[in-house]
Amino acid sequence: MEYYQLIVGLLLLLALIDLIVGVSNDAVNFLNSAIGSKVARPRTILIVASVGIFLGAGFSGGMMEVARSGIFNPSQFMFSEVMVIFLAVMLTDILLLDAFNTLGLPTSTTVSIVFELLGAAVAVAAVKMMGNPDAPQLFSAYINQSKVTEIIGGIFLSVLLAFSVGALVQYIARALFTFEYKRHMHGIGVLWSGIALAAITYFLFIKGLKETTLLPHSILDWVSDNPMLLFFGSMGVFTLLSYILQKAGVPMLRLVVLAGTFALAMAFAGNDLVNFVGVPLAGLESFKAWTDSGIAAPSFPMVSLATDSKAQPLILYAAGLVMLITLWTSKKAKTVTETEVNLSRQAEGSERFQSNILSRSIVRTITASSKVTTSMMPATWKHYLEGRFRQNKPAEQLKTADLPSFDLVRASVNLTVASVLIALATSYKLPLSTTYVTFMVAMGSSLSDRAWGRDSAVYRVAGVLQVIGGWFLTALVAFVVAAGIALLVIRFEGTAVLLLLGLAVFGLVASYRYHKRTVKNKERIAAMDDSLSELSALELIAQVRQQTAQALEEVAAIYTLAVDGLTREDAQRLAEAKRGVKELSAARSSLRETTYNAIRKVRERHAEGSRALLLNADLEKDLIDSCTQVVQITRKHVNDVLLPLYPEQSQAVLEIQTRLKSFLNECANTIRHSGYDQKKQLNEKKRALLGRLEELLTHQAAGIQDRRYSAKNSGLFFNLLLESKDIIAVSFRLVKLHHRLQKSLDSDSAALFIAQDELPGEG
């Protein structure tokens, strides 16, 4: 009894945690359009979504068939086996969703819960059928295979259909509205607002209120029997209302986006709530049925789970309250939302995802196809469409923190198309995923809206592919991990439960710390970006000088960690060096984007300053690239457990480490305090240090000829010294750059600016 009481208690605790991690991921479904378009203040958007969530939780019928009998046949499992399934599902779900939240990737909570149930049920069924020659024939009695096939088909259907329809509707909408959409709101805008509000209303009744007990069955039955009448009737009413409100000065697209946000939030709470509490409540009900039966746990069949059951309203409202608190406080929800908004933003900027061979191939294919299609189009059509998609933004507005990632036209398309697709799928009982639909509609509309330009397409496509890959990984990992946990609990019972609980706590704490560190770094970069963008030209140059000095000091610290880790064979120091150079690289990448945009406001009299900022950014990149190479080659050598450096090699690299660290710090102080009277002495130190590196390289070459050193050590030693030479040379170039810039600013004369032929040199 105590063992199962422990499991029930854990299930209820895990339900609370699952609500938090689940909402953190699913919030992107209803927040991305409103936040991306900045339809209102963040506080207003959250209030609208909160009302939708709370009402959705209360309106929810709380149907829990998926958790109880949708994936497996409960009559074939005993109470002890069902509790193992439920525990494995909840532990897996929390860890899986939290991992996606930490990485900032949206996934489907429905798909995760389904495949966790499937994996755990298959594992328990396999143990039951072990040694039975009729096992293959019995398998269908345990698992609802048709339901699983239906859900897998829904994944593909969600991705392809949502992307295609979203792209098509956005193309038409943009051709009608153009980017100067406010000029068209009294004409096509009125009709579009009526259609959009009708679609959202249709969605709200079909999806959000389909199981509510608060509306009379007669109304719900009428809606179910007359969906087209509901849609077209409400379209007429809303079109007339839009005309009146538009004449009164009400911004109708804002109303559409806020209404869509409310509807999606309400539907999410009303339908996806059982993904988080369905399994624990089924476990609690199973425990009550077993205790009342008086039968031993391994002998009590769970026939009761085959009947329909609804959660109590008090439980639903309590769950809704937890979801509300999470929505307002979860930083991971913001991270997931940022991923989708950044992938669909209209403006340029730093890209989170790196290109890969698949994304490059897709972009090349689409570009070539577009050229062929365009060449076949009449010149008049081509000119007309180009005019409809042209953006006429002043140069100073191309990069502004206050500008939305996309406009209200695209936001309304995202919400309207997603609402229609989800509502239609629900009415025809097709298993579309809410997450997949909302994400792919947003990506399709971004493509049609030309948000994925030549400078960003490969990165955006790579990001979309990574998210989609994560969806299929969700199903695989959910199945495998849940099955593994179920087998462990069956074999080791209480010991396994306590061990797995400890691992889950450790995983949650580790991901929290990782995410906190990542968010802190992003906030630091954002603060630096803001400080740069708000400065005058001279202040900007002075600030860049300070940040360049800081970069030199950070490179010195990272280089020291890498060499120490190499000579001591300390993997922890090398891991710290890798983390440091990664954070430095990310920070500088973002600052380069800010610098490029800040240069636009530098006056002509400081044109030399603009050029210097660009050169400074490039030199900093070279410096960080060399430092990254040092970290990579030292980590690889130690991680591959290769022979350590010979004593004379270790002594040499430690000598270089000490002298290089001192040199970089002197360069930093010279730039920070404009102590350019010391440049001559610094140049002499540079020459001496480079001379010492040449001596070591010559000595190493002689050692290779005499076969005193191994090939692996020689390669490491050579690469380390060569990268060190680059770091030294680039560091001194930065000193020269800032010295000449300072002289230019002091004299206000461009004639004193850097000569073109002096930049590549080292002296």
**Per-residue confidence (pLDDT) for residue 212, from 0 to 100:** 59
404/568 Cα distance (integer angstroms): 50
**Per-residue confidence (pLDDT) for residue 753, from 0 to 100:** 39
Residue 143, phi then psi, degrees to nearest 5: -115, 135
Q: How does residue 730 score in pLDDT terms, banded at 50, 70 and 90?
A: very high
Q: Is it the case that residue 202 has pLDDT exceeding 90?
A: no
Question: 482 to each of 289, 476, 565, how far by Cα in Å?
Answer: 25, 10, 38
730/735 Cα distance (integer angstroms): 9
Residue showing tokens 């000193």: 735
727/660 Cα distance (integer angstroms): 9
- The rounded mean pLDDT for the chain is 83
Q: Over pLDDT 90: what percentage of the chain?
A: 33
458/354 Cα distance (integer angstroms): 8
Q: How many residues are given for the chain?
A: 763
Q: How does residue 629 score in pLDDT terms, banded at 50, 70 and 90?
A: very high
**Per-residue confidence (pLDDT) for residue 93, from 0 to 100:** 92
**Per-residue confidence (pLDDT) for residue 584, from 0 to 100:** 86
301 bridge partner residues? 78
756/745 Cα distance (integer angstroms): 18
**Per-residue confidence (pLDDT) for residue 666, from 0 to 100:** 94
- Contact predicate 276/42, CB 8 Å: no
143 bridge partner residues? 72
The per-residue DSSP string of 574-599 comes to HHHHHHHHHHHHHHHHHHHHHHHHHG
Question: 11 to each of 86, 286, 490, 493, how far by Cα in Å?
Answer: 8, 12, 17, 15
pTM of the predicted protein model: 0.76
72 bridge partner residues? 143
Mean pLDDT of 49-54: 90
Lowest mean pLDDT among 53-67, 80-94, 523-537, 712-726: 523-537
Q: Is it the case that residue 607 has pLDDT exceeding 60?
A: no
- Contact predicate 535/44, CB 8 Å: no
Q: What is the tens place of the pLDDT at every residue in 325-364?
A: 998 998 888 888 888 888 888 876 667 787 889 888 888 8
**Per-residue confidence (pLDDT) for residue 66, from 0 to 100:** 59
**Per-residue confidence (pLDDT) for residue 729, from 0 to 100:** 94
Amino acid at 597: N
The residue extents of the domains of the chain are 2-388+404-515, 535-758
**Per-residue confidence (pLDDT) for residue 536, from 0 to 100:** 60
Q: What is the dihedral of CA 496, 502, 507, 510, to 10 degrees?
A: -160
Tokens of 50: 């909160």
Q: Is it the case that residue 479 has pLDDT exceeding 90?
A: yes
Q: Is it the case that residue 263 has pLDDT exceeding 70?
A: yes
Q: Which residues in 745-760 are b (16+ Cβ under 10 Å) and which e?
A: beeeeeebbbeeeeee
685/681 Cα distance (integer angstroms): 6
**Per-residue confidence (pLDDT) for residue 207, from 0 to 100:** 67
**Per-residue confidence (pLDDT) for residue 272, from 0 to 100:** 73
Tokens of 666: 């002197």
Mean pLDDT of 268-282: 80
549/672 Cα distance (integer angstroms): 6
- Contact predicate 441/162, CB 8 Å: yes
Q: Is it the case that residue 663 has pLDDT exceeding 90?
A: yes
Q: Cα 334 from chain centroid?
A: 9
Q: Is it the case that residue 395 has pLDDT exceeding 70?
A: no
Q: How does residue 564 score in pLDDT terms, banded at 50, 70 and 90?
A: very high
- Contact predicate 588/594, CB 8 Å: no
Three-class DSSP labels, 523-563: HHHHHHHHHHHCCCHHHHHHHHHHHHHHHHHHHHHHHHHHH
Q: Is it the case that residue 238 has pLDDT exceeding 90?
A: yes
**Per-residue confidence (pLDDT) for residue 590, from 0 to 100:** 60
Q: How does residue 477 score in pLDDT terms, banded at 50, 70 and 90?
A: very high
**Per-residue confidence (pLDDT) for residue 614, from 0 to 100:** 79
Q: What is the tens place of the pLDDT at every residue in 136-158?
A: 666 778 887 777 777 777 767 77
What class is the 535-758 domain?
mainly alpha
Residue showing tokens 């009302």: 51
176/170 Cα distance (integer angstroms): 10
